[in-house]
Amino acid sequence: MSYVIVDVEADGPIPAEYSMVCFGAVVLDEVLDKTFHGRTRPVSDRFVPAALAVSGYTRDQQLGFEEPPAVMAAFADWLAANTKNRPVLVSDNPAFDWQFINYYFHRYLGRNPFGFSARRIGDLYAGLVKDASKASEWKKYRVTPHTHHPVDDARGNAEALWKFRELGLKL
């Protein structure tokens, strides 16, 4: 099993009505050098300017990104080449990140290589320290700054998750 840390930036709160702007993925291993960065053209005319601004891109820039089917096919190929068995999506907030990845995979490829589940980093940490009230304290283990560039954010989250191994989490 391979853990793939994913981060998504979107121009609104839900897929289909809004668009995934970009996403990053990092395979969890000792070196964290297997990365993917996808940027997708909008699938809707709707967008929330403040949400889009988080990504660091303008609407004009987003309109110049690749078509989603090509990006998702490239991501699926990357997953197949860089993971073993069915990959497991791990995220800071899978309720957000997974929904966009799942929607785009199903809409454009007819399947989601991650299946229908994901892991939340905060929940793993809360279990590790046996205290649900500590679920947000895991972020102190990020090394790469949280910049809202999705590969940076996925790498920082992967660094924290790798630290959990040192703290006794069996992955």
Tell me, yes or no, if 148 is annotated catalytic. yes
Those residues whose C-beta lies under 8 Å from the C-beta of residue 151, and which sit 6 or more positions away, are 7, 24, 25, 26, 35, 36, 37
Contact 97, 8 (CB under 8 A): yes
Question: Of 52, 109, 57, 49, which is closest to residue 79 (Cα–Cα)?
Answer: 109
Torsion of CA 61, 63, 66, 67, to 10 degrees: 160
Catalytic residue among 106, 146, 148, 149: 148
b/e per residue 108-129 (b: at least 16 CB within 10 A): beeebbbeeebbbbbebbbebb
* Amino acid identity, position 42: P
Residue in 114, 125, 119, 117 with CA at minimum distance from that of residue 160: 125
- Residues with a known catalytic role: 148
